Homo-oligomer: A and B are copies of this chain.
Amino acid sequence: MTQPSPMIEVTNLDKYYGTFHALKNIDLTVHQGEKVVICGPSGSGKSTLIRCFNGLEWHNSGRLVIDGIEVYKDAKEIRELRQEVGMVFQQFNLFPHLTVLENLMIGPMKVRKITKTQAEETARNYLDRVHIPEQADKYPAQLSGGQQQRVAIARSLCMETRIMLFDEPTSALDPEMINEVLDVMVELADTGMTMVVVTHEMGFARKVADTMVFMEAGQIVEISPPEQFFTNPSSERCRLFLNQILEH
Protein backbone atom coordinates (compact mmCIF):
# COMPACT_ATOMS: atom_id res chain seq x y z
CA MET A 1 0.00 0.00 0.00
CA THR A 2 1.45 3.40 -0.98
CA GLN A 3 1.11 6.09 1.65
CA PRO A 4 -0.58 9.23 0.34
CA SER A 5 -0.73 12.38 2.44
CA PRO A 6 -2.03 11.91 5.99
CA MET A 7 -5.56 13.23 6.58
CA ILE A 8 -5.71 12.72 10.33
CA GLU A 9 -2.65 12.72 12.53
CA VAL A 10 -3.03 12.12 16.22
CA THR A 11 0.01 12.37 18.44
CA ASN A 12 0.11 11.78 22.13
CA LEU A 13 -3.48 12.80 22.61
CA ASP A 14 -5.05 12.86 26.09
CA LYS A 15 -8.59 13.62 27.05
CA TYR A 16 -10.24 13.95 30.45
CA TYR A 17 -13.87 14.15 31.49
CA GLY A 18 -13.41 15.97 34.76
CA THR A 19 -10.98 13.68 36.51
CA PHE A 20 -11.84 10.66 34.39
CA HIS A 21 -9.07 9.86 31.94
CA ALA A 22 -11.05 8.96 28.82
CA LEU A 23 -8.29 8.87 26.20
CA LYS A 24 -4.76 7.99 27.12
CA ASN A 25 -1.82 8.89 24.95
CA ILE A 26 -3.40 8.09 21.60
CA ASP A 27 -1.24 7.93 18.47
CA LEU A 28 -2.87 7.29 15.12
CA THR A 29 -2.48 8.34 11.52
CA VAL A 30 -5.14 8.04 8.86
CA HIS A 31 -4.08 8.59 5.28
CA GLN A 32 -6.12 9.87 2.41
CA GLY A 33 -8.48 7.23 1.14
CA GLU A 34 -7.72 4.91 4.05
CA LYS A 35 -10.52 3.04 5.79
CA VAL A 36 -10.01 2.60 9.51
CA VAL A 37 -12.31 0.47 11.61
CA ILE A 38 -12.22 0.98 15.37
CA CYS A 39 -13.62 -1.60 17.74
CA GLY A 40 -13.40 -2.36 21.40
CA PRO A 41 -15.57 -2.96 24.44
CA SER A 42 -18.20 -0.50 25.60
CA GLY A 43 -16.78 2.54 27.34
CA SER A 44 -13.34 2.11 25.87
CA GLY A 45 -13.36 5.60 24.36
CA LYS A 46 -14.12 4.87 20.72
CA SER A 47 -16.81 7.52 20.44
CA THR A 48 -14.76 10.00 22.40
CA LEU A 49 -11.87 9.57 19.99
CA ILE A 50 -13.77 10.11 16.79
CA ARG A 51 -15.76 12.96 18.31
CA CYS A 52 -12.44 14.67 18.84
CA PHE A 53 -11.81 14.38 15.10
CA ASN A 54 -14.54 16.87 14.27
CA GLY A 55 -14.35 18.99 17.36
CA LEU A 56 -17.42 17.74 19.21
CA GLU A 57 -15.05 17.02 22.08
CA TRP A 58 -11.80 18.76 22.95
CA HIS A 59 -8.58 17.00 23.71
CA ASN A 60 -6.69 18.23 26.72
CA SER A 61 -3.17 17.66 25.48
CA GLY A 62 -1.31 16.25 22.53
CA ARG A 63 -1.57 17.16 18.86
CA LEU A 64 -4.44 16.59 16.47
CA VAL A 65 -3.87 17.60 12.84
CA ILE A 66 -6.71 17.25 10.35
CA ASP A 67 -5.83 17.69 6.71
CA GLY A 68 -2.72 19.62 7.63
CA ILE A 69 -4.43 22.00 10.07
CA GLU A 70 -3.88 21.66 13.76
CA VAL A 71 -7.09 21.68 15.74
CA TYR A 72 -7.37 24.21 18.55
CA LYS A 73 -10.41 25.27 20.46
CA ASP A 74 -11.43 28.14 18.26
CA ALA A 75 -15.04 28.43 17.22
CA LYS A 76 -14.42 29.73 13.73
CA GLU A 77 -11.60 27.41 12.74
CA ILE A 78 -13.42 24.39 14.03
CA ARG A 79 -16.45 25.28 11.97
CA GLU A 80 -14.35 25.24 8.85
CA LEU A 81 -12.85 21.96 9.91
CA ARG A 82 -16.30 20.46 10.33
CA GLN A 83 -17.15 21.27 6.76
CA GLU A 84 -14.33 18.91 5.79
CA VAL A 85 -15.24 16.18 8.24
CA GLY A 86 -18.67 14.55 8.08
CA MET A 87 -20.10 12.51 10.90
CA VAL A 88 -22.77 9.83 11.03
CA PHE A 89 -24.20 9.10 14.45
CA GLN A 90 -25.59 5.97 16.02
CA GLN A 91 -28.91 7.72 16.61
CA PHE A 92 -29.05 9.21 13.07
CA ASN A 93 -29.85 12.69 14.49
CA LEU A 94 -31.83 13.75 11.48
CA PHE A 95 -33.70 17.03 11.89
CA PRO A 96 -37.24 15.84 12.58
CA HIS A 97 -38.95 19.06 11.54
CA LEU A 98 -37.49 19.01 8.02
CA THR A 99 -38.21 16.67 5.13
CA VAL A 100 -35.51 14.37 3.88
CA LEU A 101 -34.67 16.75 1.07
CA GLU A 102 -34.56 19.74 3.42
CA ASN A 103 -32.33 17.77 5.76
CA LEU A 104 -29.89 17.35 2.92
CA MET A 105 -30.17 20.91 1.63
CA ILE A 106 -29.98 22.93 4.82
CA GLY A 107 -26.24 22.41 5.35
CA PRO A 108 -25.11 23.37 1.85
CA MET A 109 -27.54 26.29 1.68
CA LYS A 110 -26.92 27.83 5.08
CA VAL A 111 -23.30 26.93 5.62
CA ARG A 112 -21.83 26.77 2.14
CA LYS A 113 -24.28 29.42 0.91
CA ILE A 114 -25.01 27.75 -2.40
CA THR A 115 -28.27 28.37 -4.22
CA LYS A 116 -31.40 26.39 -3.57
CA THR A 117 -31.53 24.78 -7.01
CA GLN A 118 -27.94 23.71 -6.79
CA ALA A 119 -28.45 22.34 -3.27
CA GLU A 120 -31.47 20.39 -4.41
CA GLU A 121 -29.56 18.92 -7.32
CA THR A 122 -26.74 17.77 -5.04
CA ALA A 123 -29.25 16.43 -2.53
CA ARG A 124 -31.14 14.37 -5.11
CA ASN A 125 -27.89 13.11 -6.48
CA TYR A 126 -26.79 11.78 -3.10
CA LEU A 127 -30.23 10.41 -2.31
CA ASP A 128 -29.81 8.33 -5.44
CA ARG A 129 -26.45 7.19 -4.21
CA VAL A 130 -27.99 5.88 -0.98
CA HIS A 131 -30.80 4.24 -2.98
CA ILE A 132 -33.79 6.14 -1.63
CA PRO A 133 -34.57 8.82 -4.20
CA GLU A 134 -38.28 8.18 -3.73
CA GLN A 135 -38.27 9.22 -0.04
CA ALA A 136 -37.23 12.82 -0.69
CA ASP A 137 -40.42 14.44 0.56
CA LYS A 138 -41.09 12.34 3.63
CA TYR A 139 -40.25 13.32 7.17
CA PRO A 140 -37.60 11.32 9.03
CA ALA A 141 -40.16 9.84 11.40
CA GLN A 142 -41.89 8.21 8.42
CA LEU A 143 -38.79 6.26 7.46
CA SER A 144 -37.42 3.00 8.80
CA GLY A 145 -34.21 3.11 10.79
CA GLY A 146 -32.15 1.86 7.88
CA GLN A 147 -33.55 4.51 5.60
CA GLN A 148 -32.96 7.20 8.20
CA GLN A 149 -29.36 6.21 8.56
CA ARG A 150 -28.88 6.31 4.82
CA VAL A 151 -30.34 9.81 4.78
CA ALA A 152 -27.90 10.75 7.52
CA ILE A 153 -25.04 9.47 5.38
CA ALA A 154 -26.34 11.43 2.41
CA ARG A 155 -26.60 14.54 4.55
CA SER A 156 -22.93 14.30 5.37
CA LEU A 157 -22.03 13.61 1.76
CA CYS A 158 -23.94 16.69 0.64
CA MET A 159 -21.42 18.80 2.52
CA GLU A 160 -18.85 17.31 0.12
CA THR A 161 -16.63 16.38 3.00
CA ARG A 162 -13.27 14.72 2.52
CA ILE A 163 -13.37 12.56 5.62
CA MET A 164 -16.35 10.62 6.98
CA LEU A 165 -16.66 9.47 10.58
CA PHE A 166 -19.15 6.77 11.54
CA ASP A 167 -20.04 6.09 15.19
CA GLU A 168 -21.67 2.67 15.37
CA PRO A 169 -23.93 3.52 12.43
CA THR A 170 -25.79 0.21 12.53
CA SER A 171 -26.12 -0.57 16.21
CA ALA A 172 -29.49 1.14 16.62
CA LEU A 173 -30.95 -0.78 13.70
CA ASP A 174 -33.05 -3.92 13.50
CA PRO A 175 -31.07 -6.88 12.19
CA GLU A 176 -32.83 -6.77 8.86
CA MET A 177 -31.85 -3.21 8.17
CA ILE A 178 -28.21 -3.43 9.03
CA ASN A 179 -27.32 -4.73 5.60
CA GLU A 180 -28.80 -1.93 3.58
CA VAL A 181 -26.76 0.60 5.51
CA LEU A 182 -23.58 -1.44 5.33
CA ASP A 183 -24.04 -1.85 1.60
CA VAL A 184 -24.16 1.92 1.18
CA MET A 185 -21.04 2.23 3.29
CA VAL A 186 -19.22 -0.33 1.20
CA GLU A 187 -20.13 1.57 -1.97
CA LEU A 188 -18.92 4.74 -0.36
CA ALA A 189 -15.65 3.08 0.56
CA ASP A 190 -15.19 2.07 -3.06
CA THR A 191 -15.29 5.72 -4.15
CA GLY A 192 -12.06 6.31 -2.26
CA MET A 193 -13.47 8.37 0.64
CA THR A 194 -11.34 8.53 3.78
CA MET A 195 -13.41 6.77 6.46
CA VAL A 196 -13.10 6.14 10.17
CA VAL A 197 -15.75 3.71 11.34
CA VAL A 198 -16.58 2.58 14.86
CA THR A 199 -18.47 -0.68 14.49
CA HIS A 200 -18.82 -4.23 15.69
CA GLU A 201 -19.85 -5.52 12.28
CA MET A 202 -16.85 -7.67 11.61
CA GLY A 203 -18.13 -8.82 8.22
CA PHE A 204 -18.06 -5.23 7.06
CA ALA A 205 -14.66 -4.67 8.63
CA ARG A 206 -13.20 -7.63 6.78
CA LYS A 207 -14.60 -6.36 3.53
CA VAL A 208 -13.47 -2.74 3.59
CA ALA A 209 -10.98 -2.01 6.35
CA ASP A 210 -7.40 -1.07 5.50
CA THR A 211 -6.54 -0.80 9.16
CA MET A 212 -8.16 -2.25 12.28
CA VAL A 213 -7.85 -0.44 15.61
CA PHE A 214 -8.70 -2.07 18.89
CA MET A 215 -9.23 0.17 21.91
CA GLU A 216 -9.58 -0.60 25.54
CA ALA A 217 -9.88 1.61 28.59
CA GLY A 218 -8.99 4.75 26.65
CA GLN A 219 -5.94 3.25 25.01
CA ILE A 220 -5.22 1.90 21.58
CA VAL A 221 -4.20 -1.68 22.24
CA GLU A 222 -3.73 -2.84 18.70
CA ILE A 223 -3.38 -1.33 15.23
CA SER A 224 -2.98 -3.83 12.44
CA PRO A 225 -4.16 -4.75 8.96
CA PRO A 226 -7.34 -6.83 9.00
CA GLU A 227 -5.70 -10.08 7.86
CA GLN A 228 -3.48 -10.08 10.88
CA PHE A 229 -6.12 -8.62 13.19
CA PHE A 230 -8.64 -11.38 12.62
CA THR A 231 -6.30 -14.30 12.38
CA ASN A 232 -3.54 -13.47 14.75
CA PRO A 233 -4.08 -10.46 16.96
CA SER A 234 -1.04 -9.62 19.01
CA SER A 235 -2.88 -8.88 22.25
CA GLU A 236 -4.70 -11.42 24.33
CA ARG A 237 -7.53 -9.01 25.24
CA CYS A 238 -8.26 -8.38 21.59
CA ARG A 239 -8.41 -12.10 20.84
CA LEU A 240 -10.91 -12.61 23.66
CA PHE A 241 -13.06 -9.78 22.44
CA LEU A 242 -13.13 -11.12 18.90
CA ASN A 243 -14.11 -14.54 20.15
CA GLN A 244 -16.99 -13.11 22.13
CA ILE A 245 -18.27 -11.15 19.16
CA LEU A 246 -17.83 -13.78 16.51
CA GLU A 247 -19.07 -16.78 18.44
CA HIS A 248 -22.77 -16.39 17.74
Contact with B along A198-228 (1 / 0, CB 8 A): 0011111000000000000000000000000
Kindly name the residue among A201, A241, A245, A248 whose own CB sees the greatest number of chain B CB atoms within 10 A. A248
Interfacial chain B residues near A203, Cβ < 8 Å: 247-248
Our pick among B42, B201, B202, B204 for the contact of A176 (Cβ within 8 Å) is: B42
**Which bucket holds chain A's interface residue count?**
10 to 19
Q: Which residues of B contact A248 (CB under 8 A)?
A: 178-179, 182, 201-204
Query: Taking the complex as formed, is A41 at the interface, i.e. its CB lies under 8 A from any CB of chain B?
Result: yes
Closest to A174 in B: B42
Residues in B neighbouring A175, C-beta threshold 8 A: 200, 244-245
Q: Which B residues touch A178, using CB under 8 A?
A: 248
Please determine whether B41 and A176 come into contact, CB atoms closer than 8 angstroms. yes
Partner of A247, one of B41, B42, B174, B179: B179
Chain B residues lying within 8 Å of A182, measured Cβ to Cβ, are: 248
State how many angstroms separate the Cβ of A185 from the closest Cβ of chain B: 12
| 17 examples of A-B residue contacts, CB within 8 angstroms | A41-B174, A41-B176, A42-B174, A42-B176, A175-B244, A175-B245, A176-B241, A176-B244, A178-B248, A179-B244, A179-B247, A179-B248, A182-B248, A201-B248, A203-B247, A203-B248, A204-B248
Chain A to chain B: the 9 pairs with minimum beta-carbon distance, closest first: A203-B248, A176-B244, A175-B245, A42-B174, A201-B248, A175-B200, A41-B176, A178-B248, A175-B244
